[in-house]
Structure 1
Amino acid sequence: MSTWFMISLLGTIAVIPIHFLSVEHSRLEERYGAEKGKRIGSILGMISGWGIFIFLIGLWISPQPQFLIPLLQDIVFILPLFGLLVLQIPLVHLLLGIVFIIPGAWFGIKGVTEIGLKESETHRPEKVITTGLYSRMRHPQYTGAILSHIGITFLLSSFYSLLVTPLVIVINYLLCWKEEKELVREFGEEYVHYQKSVRMFVPRVRQTDKQQ
């Protein structure tokens, strides 16, 4: 594996403890005081959020072998990028990329707009959000990240990125697990009820009960 890919992979893993610390709001405020604790948590949250995003890009575009799905492999789309690079994308890879990227981007953008950019970066909501998309899934942004990773991996035919996809899913799960652990600490039974009513990653098509 290339040095660039390994740095991106290790960077993605290294960001996990930073994210864990960023959501420990009570602990940070007890140690540093309310205002300073909030500020430190916000800074760590932005570092971890943008860090994971940047390192994921590294996983996708770093030098690596390409894989090919042996189906309609002779049909290739040529995609020039800014006059600097020309991508040759097999039809099946293009279709799979679109299938994953479009809903992934929608979940991510919709999740941010409904909860707010500040809360998305700092992972510090003022209340339990149970409306809109959050009434159907607890973590649309992480679902979007997973789907987008899979879609871009197909689009670029990035073999190493494909290999580490299970790890990317596990990392996103761990981030959600830690966030929810702290949310239960902050909001108590209200968030426990929300956990029982709404799935973590898979959106519920129909609402079986009304969130309060």
Structure 2
Amino acid sequence: MRGAAILAAGVAGLAGPGAAACLTAANLDRGVVVTRQATGPTTVTRTGQGTRYQFTRRFDPDTTDGFAVDRYTDILRDGPFPIRESGSTTAVALTGQAPLDFNTTWSSDWRMSGARPRLDPLTRATRAVTEVSSSSNGLDDQRGRTRWQVTYTFLEEKSARVSGCDYRVMGITAEHRDGQTAFLDRYVYFIDLDMAVQTQWTELASGVQRTYGITGVQAR
């Protein structure tokens, strides 16, 4: 029941019949657009290195002290497993005597120890994953290296109706731990498309959570 609830939350509010034609893996060559709650459209394309996900999230100025903040993210994954992530954050002051514009860039490379876990429903696997990260705001450069213990849980296979089409999907959770730091990612994995869409992030110590429920998919 818990797995079903996780998957249902990930695909809540899906579009009904009458939407675009049903997608196949071939659509990823030209691109698939996934719409999610609380973020801009995500463009998903297949590359020679993996599947690429690009999106921009605009933050509400009421939550950012009067700044208009855009956060662009570019992620490369092998199935649901991250390979590389990069992005930038741009903020513009909407109030105050002088406008303040700044740009922060960051990147992370992820390397898993051992063989990639099999994507078998109702199984679990733990791997050591090393993240090498860097960031810069033009004034200060930072670099880091974190060795995460990641536990992947693959839930049961389901059929989900998205934008008027039925797709085979599987919920996946990835719990990352390094000392006192821990967070949980949730994904909906479209099995026949080899496309893993993140639907939730939770900081386990504080319970802070961000949800990005899928509302539709279509060819670009």
Normalised by the size of structure 2, how large is the TM-score? 0.23
Name the TM-score, length of structure 1 as normaliser: 0.23
Higher strand share: 2
